[in-house]
Structure 1
């Protein structure tokens, strides 16, 4: 990637496919961004970019790369190895470019407080994936037709989605008088069948007709 291409990406600002940092101050947090991109649609992580998108570079960028690579290797499960390159800006400053592909091994996760936590990219943010998002990511890797019986709970769901643009898991469970587990299984199956789409959110995911 050329300096012109990096500058163009930085000027566009952070988004679904782009995240940039000035330096590797908190590698465990940056690892979450890498996981989120690998679990979603891939993208670029740029180190040495100011908050306003200025490509100023980072001093001794090799040290930052060493620290981040160590975190990637030790924290991310299953193992993930994004491609990387260094673009010199001056004699002492450079930009690190990590290219993250949508992973065939997704969902990737990190262990935090002895719990598996995964992340997905939503617009310009990386958020923790719910159990439903995790399951959908895992099962979407295997392309196969998903069949379901259109019963009473599905009818109640479709009626609710004609009256409102989206619904949460808790709302559906209440409307259909289902346990949270059964409501979750139903929504996951309908997403996998391409009837619904899921919109990950930090508080509660939203489900809408596709």
Structure 2
């Protein structure tokens, strides 16, 4: 990426595929942004750019890269793929921006670990300009959606009640589906996930409570 490309990218502002970071001072916090992009549709992370779009750059780009790459190696599970390059801001290269490009992963969901001695972590997804923790339903949708085997879906009484509800309402939560179906959380969640993976429903992640709505109809 060249300097002119950097300016063009920054003008877009933070969003579902772009994140700004002033420095890599707390790499364990930045790891979740990488995980969120890998679990969603990929994105770019710029080190040396303020949230408001100012570009002060960083003085020691190689040190920023070393610290962040070390954290990504130890605090991501499974390891994710990314590329990076240094973009000098002036001729003497006294300050620069580090550009990371994260691709949507074929091995998702990825997890951000709290420390290198822990074997469990949290999955994140990207929602607008934020990285939010993925619910169990979102994680299962990610996991099952990448399987290539076909799925057989039977529309039974509970599924019919759900689809009838969505015929009259824009969306439904897991809690509401439990209420109308009289199912426990596990069984209600399984039905919702199956319908999402079968492209009948769409899951709408949220940092409060996920919602489910009818998937858009594709005209062939």
Q: TM-score with structure 2 length normalisation?
A: 0.92
Does structure 2 retain, via aligned residues, the 8 Å contact 1:11–1:54?
A: no
Equivalence map 1:8-47=2 (5 Å): 8-47=8-47
Q: Choose which of 167, 175, 189 in structure 2 pairs with 1:162.
A: 167
Q: Choose which of 183, 186, 192 in structure 1 pairs with 2:188.
A: 183
Which ranges of 4 or more aligned residues in structure 1 deviate by more than 4 Å? none
Q: CA deviation at 1:52?
A: 1.6
Provide the rounded CA distance (Å) in 2 between the counterparts of 1:50 and 1:168: 36
Provide the rounded CA distance (Å) in 1 between the counterparts of 2:121 and 2:186: 19
Q: CA deviation at 1:13?
A: 0.4
Cross-structure match for 1:203: 208
Q: Choose which of 113, 137, 140 in structure 2 pairs with 1:111.
A: 113
Provide the rounded CA distance (Å) in 2 between the counterparts of 1:52 and 1:203: 26
Deviations 1:12-34 (A, max 9, x none): 10111100111112111110000
Deviations 1:129-168 (A, max 9, x none): 1111111111111234322111110111011112210001
Helix, strand or coil for the counterpart of 2:164? helix
Helix, strand or coil for the counterpart of 1:187? helix
| Count of matched residue positions in the alignment of Structure 1 and Structure 2 | 210
Does structure 2 retain, via aligned residues, the 8 Å contact 1:120–1:127?
A: yes
Higher strand share: 1
Provide the rounded CA distance (Å) in 2 between the counterparts of 1:202 and 1:103: 22
Does structure 1 retain, via aligned residues, the 8 Å contact 2:204–2:212?
A: yes
Q: TM-score with structure 1 length normalisation?
A: 0.96
Which structure 1 residue ranges, 5 or more long, are not aligned? Answer: none
Provide the rounded CA distance (Å) in 1 between the counterparts of 2:19 and 2:41: 13
Provide the rounded CA distance (Å) in 1 between the counterparts of 2:174 and 2:13: 33
Indicate yes or no: 2:152 matched with 1:150.
no
Deviates more, 1:94-103 or 1:146-155: 146-155
Helix, strand or coil for the counterpart of 1:153? helix
Which structure 2 residue ranges, 5 or more long, are not aligned? Answer: 216-220
Helix, strand or coil for the counterpart of 1:165? coil
Q: Choose which of 58, 80, 100 in structure 2 pairs with 1:98.
A: 100
